[in-house]
């Protein structure tokens, strides 16, 4: 199989790249290296340093002739989207449209979309948590969540009009090795990097905001499962478990034992209070479920950063 990964030099995309190569597939990566890193590239992958909105993407398709696309390239930071909504829209929505136009032109068989679940559903009442896939989005909280949700609609429309199979995977908060601790997203990577530098981490708000953390290795397995899934569909990829920001810090500190105390700052615009995603549909239909619990995942992540610090 010939697989093209957009955003394949990034955190999640590079892990999918490695898995596909291990399975014997031919892989090409498109990445503008805005957040991706060359050191994440597998030497067996063909690399195109390119923005997915660039007209030269047509040449990539004509040269590599992908059969399947794993679409991860995105503007993926909530705070950035709140300050730059038009850029967020252009990258996430227009980028998807251009990708699907080329997928139709070059007869791509399938597109597997890395969507957000954490920002998709917005603010919800406690009775809607864990959140199921068909929960109405009545109160979105960020431009990022809206642009990624809109891109899924374009995926569905193009797929159905142009006969391109598709699967949308709505991720909870993904964490693990290779996540950038210098960005505004990825609290586990950020806290770990801060503590290793003997700096004081800051929690936005009182620390009782909760998220659903899913390990990157489990996310990769969901993508692999989606390859042979026979329907057009969308799934929450999650653990269905609430973890507070305070618990995140305490779990990391229990591994590193720095003695550093966390500080609290103001709430961050665009962040919902609680996000936990129901994964029943993925278990029942996709045949996927998370295998790495939070404590084990944090341990693996901390070990990676400690070795690469």
Region for residue 90 given its phi and psi (left: phi exceeds 0; alpha: psi -120 to 50; beta: otherwise): alpha
pTM for the whole thing?
A: 0.95
Helix 95-105 with 57-64: angle, nearest 10 deg = 30
Is residue 170 within 8 A of residue 131, CB to CB? The reply is no
pLDDT attached to residue 183: 64
| Cα–Cα separations (whole angstroms), residue 7 to 74, 180, 223, 224, 226 | 7, 14, 14, 17, 18
User: Does a structural domain hold residue 308?
Assistant: no
pLDDT attached to residue 185: 64
Phi and psi at 108, nearest 5°, equal: -65, 140
Report mean pLDDT in 10-residue bins for the chain, 309 residues.
98 98 98 96 98 97 98 93 96 98 98 95 88 93 96 98 98 94 78 94 90 97 98 98 95 96 85 90 98 97 90
Q: Give the three-state DSSP class for 70.
A: strand
User: Does a structural domain hold residue 263?
Assistant: no
pLDDT attached to residue 270: 74
pLDDT attached to residue 186: 86
pLDDT attached to residue 181: 73
Q: How far apart are CA 89 and CA 144, in angstroms?
A: 8
User: Does a structural domain hold residue 191?
Assistant: no
Q: How far apart are CA 79 and CA 84, in angstroms?
A: 9
Q: How far apart are CA 269 and CA 137, in angstroms?
A: 18
Strands 2-6 and 243-244: unpaired
pLDDT attached to residue 182: 65
User: Does a structural domain hold residue 187?
Assistant: no
Looking at residue 209, the DSSP 8-state letter turns out to be: -
Per the annotation, the verdict on 234 as an active-site residue is no
User: Does a structural domain hold residue 281?
Assistant: no
Residue indicated by tokens 């864990």: 130
pLDDT attached to residue 177: 96
How far is residue 145 CA from its own chain's centroid?
Answer: 12
Range of the domain at 117: 2-175+214-238
- Candidate list 80, 113, 121, 144, residue with the active-site label: 144
pLDDT attached to residue 272: 80
User: Does a structural domain hold residue 307?
Assistant: no
Q: Give the CATH number for residue 48.
A: 3.40.50.720
User: Does a structural domain hold residue 154?
Assistant: yes
Helix 294-307 with 245-256: angle, nearest 10 deg = 50
User: Does a structural domain hold residue 251?
Assistant: no
Tell me how many domains the chain contains: 1
């Amino acid at each position: 199989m010939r697989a093209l990964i957009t955003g394949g030099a990034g955190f999640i995309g590079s892990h999918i790249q490695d898995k596909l190569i291990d399975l014997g597939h031919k892989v090409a990566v498109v990445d503008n290296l805005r957040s991706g890193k060359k050191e994440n590239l597998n030497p067996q992958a063909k690399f195109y340093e390119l923005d997915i909105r660039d007209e030269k993407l047509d040449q990539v398709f004509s040269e590599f002739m992908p059969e399947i696309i794993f679409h991860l390239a995105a503007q993926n930071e909530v705070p950035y989207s709140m300050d730059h909504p038009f850029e967020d829209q252009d990258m996430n929505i227009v980028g998807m449209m251009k990708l699907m136009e080329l997928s139709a032109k070059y007869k791509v068989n399938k597109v597997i979309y890395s969507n957000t679940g954490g920002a998709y559903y917005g603010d919800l009442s406690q009775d809607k948590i864990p959140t199921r896939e068909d929960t109405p989005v009545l109160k979105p909280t960020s431009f990022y969540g809206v642009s990624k949700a809109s891109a899924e609609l374009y995926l569905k429309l193009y797929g159905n009009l142009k006969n391109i199979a598709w699967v949308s995977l709505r991720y909870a908060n993904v964490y693990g090795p290779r996540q950038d601790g210098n960005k505004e997203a990825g609290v586990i990577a950020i806290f770990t990097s801060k503590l290793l530098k003997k700096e004081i981490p800051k929690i936005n708000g009182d620390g009782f905001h909760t998220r659903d953390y899913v390990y990157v290795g489990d996310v990769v397995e969901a993508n692999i499962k989606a390859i042979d899934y026979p329907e057009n569909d969308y799934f929450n990829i999650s653990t269905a478990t609430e973890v507070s920001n305070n618990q995140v810090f305490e779990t990391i500190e229990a591994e590193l034992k720095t003695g550093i105390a966390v500080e609290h700052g103001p709430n961050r615009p665009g962040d919902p209070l609680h996000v936990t995603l129901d994964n029943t549909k993925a278990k029942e239909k996709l045949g996927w479920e998370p295998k790495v619990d939070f404590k084990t995942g944090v341990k693996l992540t901390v070990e990676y950063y400690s070795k690469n610090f």
